[in-house]
Structure 1
Amino acid sequence: MEPRSLASAAVAVEVYLARASADATARGLGWLDAAERRRADAFRSEAARDLFVAARATLRIQLGRRLGGAPEAIRFGLGDHGKPTLAAPWDAAGWHFNVSHSGTLALVAIARSLAVGIDVERIDAIPAGEMDGLSASHFSAAEMRRWRAADAAGRTEMFFRVWTRKEAVLKAWGVGLVDDLAAVDTVPGPRVLEKWSVRDWAVPPGYVAAVAAEGLDWEAAWGDG
């Protein structure tokens, strides 16, 4: 979908682009808790670490604005299936969030009273045989038709587009994997099962992204700031 303006009253999900830089890392590291700092230290690539810190800092800034707290004061917990959540007392306000990063791009999604998931993937070259195997085991019949209908030049992009839609839905549900990924059908329309929906999200060339959330009538927009 084309991102809408926050002026629309229908907007329920706000998406933020996290920008990595040396200054952002220096500032953001001071806001992270011990678990986040351990994750940051585990990255072998400085660029990947900086992007992770930028994403966490952006999340803390935006949640802090909504909750009336400093970025470093925000505390996180884990839901029943390991999905990151806000910890008490911040959880009482009903804000949900999700973060995704790939390559040099990181996105943060925030929604109130709606479980939300976001996924971004860099479009990398994948051997045709590997795509065939993954799609056969993980794509629904409708997703397979959509992927196979793409021309040779667009097949890899379509593979990642279907994959990001599926990942966004799973992240919104709060589960990393399900027994039958092919049962999670994200096409032909935005509706997924009965109470969930997913939209493609416009990002810079070389990447694809998708946003999923609870409900069927929500809209998403780029956040300001």
Structure 2
Amino acid sequence: MNDTRGRLAVTGAVHIWHGRVRDELAPGDLALLDDEELRLARGRRPPHQAHYAGVHALLRRLLADHYLGGPPGAIRFGRHICPACGDRSHGRPRIARPATGLEFSLSRSGPHWALAVTAAGSVGIDLESRRDFAAEGVSELALSDPELARMRALEREDDRREFFLRSWTRKEAVLKAVGIGIVTDLRGLDVLPDDTGSALVEHAGPGSRDRWLVEEVDLGPDLVAALARGAGRGAGPVLLRAVGEVREGTVTA
């Protein structure tokens, strides 16, 4: 471990790690999973099993190598209390052990993944593949009336698809930061997809009425990603860190 955790606390920065895991299952990845993750991994077929296990094992390696110290297998995860209903079984993920002030958010689309880490409060990240995302029949359930009107006004199908993808990732990022997921009505959340770069979004759903700074994150031509974090606290920089190589014992950027 280095002094990365201390620098995060001082600067209010968000580190975004990203990369692609292998399509082949590694025994070392399964060995790092907890019982619930292992059950979910074994319920998937190749290559989805390898993607799931690889990303969740990588989460532990990154946190251990760069923030927490100690062996990756010693890290334990839990949940924050859901702000909507008070249940701890489905709130925002947290690091339960070792004790830390860090917050994180993990997203995966096939083999592609992104991890946001910060010491500046709640954070949410969402990642979707342009190639694999299926939007058919979802627009009316996910977009607000103004968003739906703006999307339908676009002439090209590719532009409408891109508009929806940008809207979807922004909504997912906000709801992951809030800690309630997509159980809420997505149509009540307008994420200003016409605004490129960053936008201030208000979430007034169950459990909170907060403003979130939502930023698009460039992770490559085939991916759409968005980051959400609390607004009004003097947001620090967003630092991208691509993972170049993953071994069973370490992670190199």
TM-score normalized by structure 1? 0.81
Which of the residues 107, 114, 136 maps onto 1:100?
107
Q: Residue 43 of structure 1 corresponds to which residue in structure 2?
A: 44
What residue is the counterpart of 1:154 in the other structure? 159
Partner residue, 2:124: 117
Give the equivalent residue in structure 2 for 1:140.
144
Q: How large is the Cα RMSD of the aligned pairs?
A: 2.6
**Aligned-partner Cα distance in 1 for 2:135–2:186:** 20
Which of these residues, 208, 233, 236, is aligned with residue 218 of structure 1? 236
Displacement of 1:73 after TM fit? 0.7
Say whether the 8 Å CA contact 2:24–2:47 is kept in structure 1.
no
Measure how far apart 1:125 and its partner are. Answer: 5.1
Query: Structure 1 CA distance, aligned partners of 2:24 and 2:185?
Result: 43
Matched, 1:192 2:193: no
In the superposition, relative to structure 1, how do residues 18 and 71 fare at CA in structure 2: closer, same or farther (>3 Å)?
A: farther
Deviation, 1:141, is: 4.2
Q: Distance in 2 between matches of 1:136 and 1:196?
A: 24
**What runs of 5+ residues in structure 2 fail to find an aligned partner?**
1-6, 83-89, 203-209, 243-252
Aligned to 1:4: none
Task: Specify the alignment match of 2:71 in structure 1.
Answer: 70
1-structure distance, mates of 2:35, 2:167: 35
Deviations 1:76-101 (A, max 9, x none): 1122121221114x2x3211111111
Structure with the larger RCO, 1 or 2 (CA within 8 Å, 6+ apart): 1
**Quick one: percent identity of the two aligned structures?**
34
Among 84, 93, 98, which residue is 1:84 paired with?
Answer: 93
Q: Verify the 8 A CA contact 1:51 1:106 in the aligned structure 2.
A: no
Task: Single out whichever of 14-23 and 204-213 deviates more from structure 2.
Answer: 14-23
Deviations 1:161-219 (A, max 9, x none): 10110011001111123543223221145111243111111123332111111235233
Please say if 1:203 is aligned against 2:210: no
Aligned to 2:182, the other structure's residue is in SS state coil
CA distance in 2 between counterparts of 1:24 and 1:112 reads 32
Q: Distance in 1 between matches of 2:177 and 2:237?
A: 15
TM-score in terms of structure 2 length = 0.73
Higher mean C-alpha displacement, 214-223 vs 170-179: 214-223
Change (3 A) 1:10 1:150: farther
User: Within 2, Cα distance between the matches of 1:67 and 1:27?
Assistant: 20
2:30 & 2:55 partners in 1: Cα distance? 11
For 2:111 and 2:60, the matched residues in 1 are separated by 20
Q: 2:4 corresponds to which residue?
A: none
**Residues 55, 107 of structure 1: 8 Å contact kept:** no
C-alpha contact 1:18 1:55 (8 A) present in aligned 2: no
- Contact in 1 for aligned 2:212/2:231 (Cα 8 Å): yes
Greater fraction helix = 1
Letter in 1 for 2:63: L
C-alpha deviation, 1:135, in angstroms: 3.2
Task: Answer yes or no: is the 8 Å Cα contact 1:18–1:54 preserved in 2.
Answer: no
Residues 71-129 of structure 1, C-alpha deviation per residue, up to 9 Å, x if partnerless? Answer: 111001122121221114x2x321111111113311111111321111111233544xx
* Aligned-pair CA distance for 1:149: 4.5
Alignment partner, residue 21 of structure 1: 22
